Structure 1
C-alpha cells in the first residue's frame, strides 16, 4: 500500500478574525529574500511579550517560512525548525484557540514528511498523535473533519506498512470509511476517498484472504470511477482511477482459481475498465483488450447464470465501439448479435431490460449512419421507444433513453422530411430536459439540440415562436457551458446565428451587434488549426456583411472580406463548405 497524499491547507487567524495567511511575497520568496523574511519574523517573535495572543500565529508563520525553505532546498535542518515552531505555536495556543486543530494537523504533516525521509518511527508516532489530537478537537459537523480523518488514515496505513500490525490497517479502514460517510456526493475529493478505502480493503484481502474484503475493494473502486465520471473530471484524473481499478481487478484475478465464479466477475470488471479507458483515450489497444476480457468472461459463465445477459451486452458494447472506430460491418453484426442475445435472455419485467433495449437501439442507429439503410433506423426507433416505455419516471437512464429516441426521430426527419418526426423529437427532447439536473454535464448539449429543432421548424413554418425558442435554448445552453469547455465556441456560433436570424427578420440592429460579439468571441477562443475555425469565420463575415448592407460602413465590408478570405485559406478543396465560403467572397467582390 502506498502512502496517500495529505489533504487540506492551513490558515490561521488573529484576534480580530482576519486571515493572517503567509504573505504571497513570502510564498514566492527564494534565497536572500526568504532569509530576510525569516530574520524579520524572528525579530517580531523576540520583541513580542510573553502571553501576547498573537504569538502562536507568529510562530506558525515562521514555521511556514522554514517549510518554504525546506521545500526549496531540502535541508532537513529547515524541516526541524518547521516542527520546532509549529510545536511552539501549539504550546502557546490555549485549548480554546480557534485554530488549534489546524495547527496540530499541520504539525502532523511535517512529522510525516520527516518520516518519509528518515523512516523514523518516532516521527510516525508523532504524526499519529498530532492527527488524532486534531481530530479529537474537531466536531462531527465540521466540514474539515473528513480531511483530518483521511490524513489520520494515511498515518495508520504507514504504521501498518512499518510494523505489519493489522490493528493499524483496521484503524485506517475505520477512518477512511468515516471520511467517505462525511463527504457529500458532489465533493471534489469523494472519488479519491472512495479509492483510498478500496486500496485499504484490498490490502487487508492480501493479508487475510477474506473474500468479503476483495468484494468491498471492488465495490468502492467502482464507486470511485462512477463518481469521477459523473463529475466530468479531467481525463487524467479519470484514467488514474481507472488504472488503479484495473490493477485491483488484475490482482484479484490472479488470486482466483479458474473454476471460481468470481473469476468471470473480475474479467467482466476488467473488460468494462478497458472499455471506459478507450472512450477517454481512444487507444484501440484498450478496446481490443476489452473485447478479449469480455469474451473470456462469457466463456467462463455457465448457461442460466444471473450475469450472462449483462456479459453478453458488455461484449456487444465493445463490438459497437470497434464498429464505430473502424466502420467494420462484421463488428456491427457482432454487436447486434450479442445485444439481441442479451435481450432475449432478459425477462420483460427485469429492471435492466430498458437499458438493453437502448443499447440495441444505439447499434442499429450506428449501422444506419454508416449504411444509410432505413430499416436500421426504424429498428433503432422501435427499440428506443420500447426502452422509454419501460423506463419509469424516476429511472436513472430515462433521460438517456429519451434523448436517444429524439435523436433517432430527428435522423428519420432528415431522411424522409416528415415534420411529424421533428415534432416528436422536440417533445421527447423537452421531456428529457425536464429530468436533467442543472449541473448535468450533458444538459447544454440537450438544450442545443432543442434549439436546432426549433431553428428547422422556424425555417420550415415561419412561426416566430420557434425563433424565440431557438434563441432561448441556445442562450440556456451557453449559460451552462464553462469558459474552458471544448464546445463553448460552437455554442457561441449557434447563438450568434440565432441573433443574426432575428436581425434579418426584425431589422434589429441590437441583435446584429450581439451576433457580432458572439462571433468574434467564438473566433478568438478557437485555435488556428481547429477544424471549425473556418465555419466560425464565415459566420462572422456574414454578420459584418449584413451590417455593411444595412449601414453602408466600408469598414464592415473590409472585415467581411478579410474573414471570408481567411475561411477559404483554412478550407481544403475537398471540403463541402468551401463553395459557400467562395460564394461569400464572390458576393463581396461583386
Structure 2
C-alpha cells in the first residue's frame, strides 16, 4: 500500500537504494525489497516503451543478483525472461540496446553454468557478438564486451572441447586487455584474471607450459592491482590457486601446491558461511590437500581433504547442479583412504556416491563422461582387492561408454583411453584373454602416440604397449615403433623447460626404460637398435647439456645470423636450467620459470628452422647407429652393458670397435639386474664397515679405519672379511671375463689397449674396472692385465670430443692446483699439502705452468676464475655427494661449497683435464643410476675432456702417493711450456694404481678398497 502511493521517480530511487545497499552488505532482505519495488514499477500504467524496457532490465538485474546470492533456479529464469523482453522492447539504434543485449547474454551464461545446456551458451555468444557489432570502435564499453565474449567462448570450449573456441576466447580477452589504459585499475585486474583463466585452460588442453606460465603471471598481476578489501580478491586468489595446482601436477614442485593451499584457505575463510559458492571453494581446497597428501603422504592432509569435501557436499541441497561434482570429489578421497587402510567399506562408499552422481546427471551433460571414468576407477580398485570379475567388467563398460560420449579431439580422451587400457590389463592378468591383451595394447598405443597430453601418462602407456608388443610380436615393426616411442617420450618427461634439478626428480619415476628396450632388441638380434636405445635413453640430462654446447661452425658458414641466435638461446637456456630452486619470492620464481619456458620454446622453434635447411635436416637429432660408429676412438673399445629384469632377466654387452660397421653383441647369461643389485648392496655394507662411506672417511688414517666400529655390518657380508674380493671376483667371472673372451682379448705385458665402460643401473655403482680374482696364486686373472679402463656417460659424450679435437690457446696451458686442507666446518686433511707440494715440483721439473690456491686463497670465486685461465685442474679437498639433491654435491673450499650446479653453469672452452682428489666424486645417486649426476660427470659437462675421480672415500695415507705417481707418468717427456697431455690420463692412472698395488697386500680388504676407488672418465 505504501509503495503504491509513491511516484515513479520515488519508487525508482527506492529500488536503486535497495540494490545498492545489498551490493554493499549482501543482505538478502535488501534484494527482496528491491525486487518488490521493481515489480511495482513494471506494472505501472501508461509507461512509454523506453521506460518499460529500462524497468524490465532493472527487474532482471535484481533477479540475477538474488540468484547469485541464493542459487534459486527460478530467479535466473525470471532474469532471462525479463532481459529478453527488455531487448525486444528496444529498437535498433537505441543507445541502451548494447547494455540490454549484454545483460541478456550474462543471464544466459549464468543459466548455462547451472545446466550445461549448449543452447544457452550459443545464444549468449551470438548476443555478445551482436552487441560488439553495434558498438562504436572508440566506445569505453568495448573492452568489457570483448572480455565477456571471451568468457562465453571459453565456456563453450569446456563443453565441446573445440580448440578454436578457446583460441577465439583468448583473442577476445587480449583485445579487451589492450583496450584498457594502464591507469584504469578498476577493470584491469578482472580482465587480466579472466585472460589468465583462458591460458590455464589452454595448458590443460595442449600441455603448453608457456600458456600455464602466462596464466600464473597474469593472475599475480591481477592480485597486485587489487585492493585488500576488494570483493573480487577472494575470486582472484581462487583462480591463482587453481593455476598453481595445475603446475604442481606437471612439475611436482611442493612450493606450488603449498601456495595453492594457502591461497585456497584464504578464499574459504573470507567467504560467508551461507554463500552458495562456498561449497565449490571447499571442494577445491580438498583437491589440493589430497594432491599434497599423494606427494608427501601426510595423513593430516588426507583427513582435512575428506572433511572439506564432506562439508562441500553437505552444503548442497538435493537437486543442486554441483552435487554430482561434490559427490565425486568426496568419493575420490574415500578411494585414496582405502588404499592406505585396505578398508573395503571406503571403496563401497566411494562407489555408492559415484553411482548416485551418475544417476542424477543428464547423459548429455559435459561432466557425465568424467563421472563414468571416476566410477570405473573405484570398480578397478575393488577388483584388485576382491578379484570379482563383475567389477572389472563394469569398469570397462563405463570407460567404453565415456569414450563414446566424448567428442573426438577432447583433451580428456587420452586419460580415458589410459584408464580403459589399465582395465583390460587387469582382466588379462586374470583371464589370459588374447583379445583383451590386444585391446589393452590398442588403447595404450593410442595414448602413447597422441601429439598432446601429459608426458608421464604417455610414457607409462608406451612402456606397456612396447612390453606387450614384444611378448606377442617380438620381431614386428610395431614393436620397434613402440620402443622408439618409449625412448622419444623420455626426453619429453624431462624437457628443457625444467631446471636440471627438476628433470632429475622427474626421471626418478622412469628408471630402466632404455634397458628394457635394449633387452627386447637383443632378444630378436637387433643389436643396432639396442645400441641406439641405450645411447638415446641414458644420461638424458647430460646429453641435453652437451647439445646446448654443440659447435656451430658448419651452420655459421652459411647462416651466421641463425647460428648466432641459436648460440645465444642455448647459452641462456643452459644458464636457466642450471639455476637452483631457492626461497626467492613467488613472483620472482614465476618470472624465472616463465623466462625459462619461453627460452625452451624458442630453442624448439630455432631447431625447426635449422632442420628446414638443406643438409641440416638431422641437426641435433638422435643419431642412428651408423653415424655413431663413424667417430669411435681409433684404438680402443667401447662397451655398453645393459641389464633388464623384464625379459628373461637378461644381461647383454654391446661392444663398439673402430672399423666395424655394426656393434658386437655379447650375451651375459650369468649376470642379471638382481645379481648386480645384490653386489651393490654388499659393497655399500663393506664400505660402511670400513668407514669408506662416512662423511669424514677421507680424513681417517689406516689405523682409524681398522678400529672403526661399523655403522651397519650384516654378518652375511663381513663374516669372512672377503666381501670386496668376492664382489670383484663375481664381476670378473660373470661379467667382464665373458666380454673379454667374446672380443678375443688376452693379457699383455706391453702397452695395453683401452676400454671405455658405459654402464647404468646397479653397475653404475660397481667398480667394473677393478674386476678380477685377487689371491696369492691368481695369475693374469683381473682386468688390469688386459686393458686400461675408462668410463663415459654416453658414447656420444666420447665421440663428440674425438670428432672435435680441441686446440688449447697457449695462454690457457697449465695446471691449477687447489688445496683446501682446513675447510670451515670440515676436519683437517693433512695429506693435501704433501700432495700439492709433490705436484708442484713435478710441474716445475717439466716446465708446466702452474698456480696454487691454498687455504684462504682457495675460495669459490678465485677457483672459478682460474678454471677459465688454466686448462687443467687438480682439486685436493673435501667433497660431498648429496643423494637427495645431486646438483648440490660439491667441493668444500675456504668460503663455502663449490657445487655441481655452479660448475655446470660455467662453460669452460679451454678445459682439458681434471683430477678430483676428493671423496665420492663419481659415486652418483642410486635413484638416478641411468643419469650422470656425480661430480666427475659435472666436470665433463662443464667442458673437461677427461677426469680422474673416486667412487668412494679415499684414505689420506695413499692419496698423495697416487697423485704423485700419476703426474710423474702424465708429465714425463713434456717440454718447457707444453700443455698437460690429458689423453695420457687413463694410462697415468693405471700406472699409479699399479704402483699402489705393489705396495699393498694384494688380496686384503683394505688394499682393494684403497685402489679400486679411483676411476677415469672421458678421453
What's the TM-score bracket when you normalise by the shorter of the two chains? 0.5 to 0.7
Is it true that 1:226 corresponds to 2:58 in the alignment?
A: no
Indicate the residue corresponding to 2:533 in structure 1: none
The Cα shift of 1:364 comes to 1.6
2:63 and 2:78 in contact (8 A); partners too: no
1:354 and 1:391 in contact (8 A); partners too: yes
Indicate the residue corresponding to 1:315 in structure 2: 149
Q: Deviations over 1:46-74 (max 9, x none)?
A: xxxxxxxxxxxxxxxxxxxxxxxxxxxxx
Q: Deviations over 1:435-461 (max 9, x none)?
A: 222233332333233233333323322
- Comparing 221-230 and 411-420, the one that deviates more: 411-420
Separation in structure 1 between the aligned mates of residue 101 and residue 431 of structure 2, nearest angstrom: 65
Counterpart of 1:566 (choices 394, 400, 403) is 394
List aligned pairs for 1:231-310, cutoff 5 A: 231-234=70-73, 238-251=76-89, 253-254=90-91, 258=93, 260-280=94-114, 282-310=116-144
The Cα shift of 1:358 comes to 1.1
Indicate the residue corresponding to 1:476 in structure 2: 311
Q: What is the RMSD of the two structures over their aligned residues, measured on CA atoms?
A: 4.2
Separation in structure 2 between the aligned mates of residue 521 and residue 334 of structure 1, nearest angstrom: 37
Counterpart of 1:467 (choices 299, 302, 318) is 302
Which structure 2 segments of 5+ residues have no match? 404-415, 433-1019
Count of residues in Structure 1 that have an aligned counterpart in Structure 2:
404
Counterpart of 1:345 (choices 162, 170, 179) is 179
Is it true that 1:527 corresponds to 2:355 in the alignment?
A: no
Separation in structure 2 between the aligned mates of residue 565 and residue 188 of structure 1, nearest angstrom: 54
Counterpart of 1:387 (choices 180, 200, 222) is 222
Is it true that 1:453 corresponds to 2:288 in the alignment?
A: yes
Distance 1:466 1:213, change over 3 A: same
The Cα shift of 1:422 comes to 2.0
Which structure 1 segments of 5+ residues have no match? 1-131, 133-148, 157-166, 547-556
Q: Deviations over 1:66-120 (max 9, x none)?
A: xxxxxxxxxxxxxxxxxxxxxxxxxxxxxxxxxxxxxxxxxxxxxxxxxxxxxxx
SS at match of 1:499: helix
List aligned pairs for 1:484-495, cutoff 5 A: 484=319, 485-495=323-333
Separation in structure 2 between the aligned mates of residue 288 and residue 471 of structure 1, nearest angstrom: 37
Distance 1:518 1:306, change over 3 A: same
1:169 and 1:200 in contact (8 A); partners too: no
Distance 1:481 1:586, change over 3 A: farther
Structure whose residues are more often strand by fraction:
2
Separation in structure 1 between the aligned mates of residue 72 and residue 254 of structure 2, nearest angstrom: 39
The Cα shift of 1:405 comes to 0.9
Distance 1:281 1:491, change over 3 A: closer
Separation in structure 2 between the aligned mates of residue 413 and residue 367 of structure 1, nearest angstrom: 16
Indicate the residue corresponding to 2:236 in structure 1: 401
2:150 and 2:172 in contact (8 A); partners too: yes
SS at match of 1:207: coil
Structure whose residues are more often helix by fraction:
1
Indicate the residue corresponding to 1:209 in structure 2: 48
1:221 and 1:245 in contact (8 A); partners too: yes
Separation in structure 2 between the aligned mates of residue 342 and residue 537 of structure 1, nearest angstrom: 42
Separation in structure 2 between the aligned mates of residue 223 and residue 406 of structure 1, nearest angstrom: 31
List aligned pairs for 1:48-59, cutoff 5 A: none
Separation in structure 2 between the aligned mates of residue 568 and residue 246 of structure 1, nearest angstrom: 46
SS at match of 1:365: helix
The Cα shift of 1:493 comes to 1.1
Indicate the residue corresponding to 2:598 in structure 1: none
Separation in structure 2 between the aligned mates of residue 223 and residue 312 of structure 1, nearest angstrom: 24
Separation in structure 1 between the aligned mates of residue 312 and residue 84 of structure 2, nearest angstrom: 36
Separation in structure 1 between the aligned mates of residue 318 and residue 120 of structure 2, nearest angstrom: 31
The Cα shift of 1:424 comes to 1.9
Higher radius of gyration, 1 or 2: 2
- Comparing 564-573 and 336-345, the one that deviates more: 564-573
- Comparing 220-229 and 207-216, the one that deviates more: 207-216
2:244 and 2:256 in contact (8 A); partners too: yes
Separation in structure 1 between the aligned mates of residue 169 and residue 259 of structure 2, nearest angstrom: 28
Normalised by the length of structure 1, the TM-score is 0.57
Instruction: Choose between structure 1 and 2 for higher RCO, CA contacts under 8 A separated by at least 6 residues.
Output: 2
SS at match of 1:572: helix
Separation in structure 1 between the aligned mates of residue 305 and residue 201 of structure 2, nearest angstrom: 28
Distance 1:249 1:186, change over 3 A: farther
Indicate the residue corresponding to 1:550 in structure 2: none
Normalised by the length of structure 2, the TM-score is 0.35
The Cα shift of 1:522 comes to 4.3
Distance 1:396 1:473, change over 3 A: same
1:246 and 1:273 in contact (8 A); partners too: no
Counterpart of 2:260 (choices 425, 428, 447) is 425
Is it true that 1:411 corresponds to 2:246 in the alignment?
A: yes
Separation in structure 2 between the aligned mates of residue 188 and residue 583 of structure 1, nearest angstrom: 59
Separation in structure 2 between the aligned mates of residue 440 and residue 492 of structure 1, nearest angstrom: 20
Distance 1:340 1:579, change over 3 A: closer
The Cα shift of 1:223 comes to 1.6
The Cα shift of 1:355 comes to 0.9
2:376 and 2:395 in contact (8 A); partners too: yes
Distance 1:292 1:451, change over 3 A: closer
Counterpart of 2:194 (choices 359, 364, 368) is 359
List aligned pairs for 1:365-380, cutoff 5 A: 365-380=200-215
Distance 1:473 1:543, change over 3 A: farther
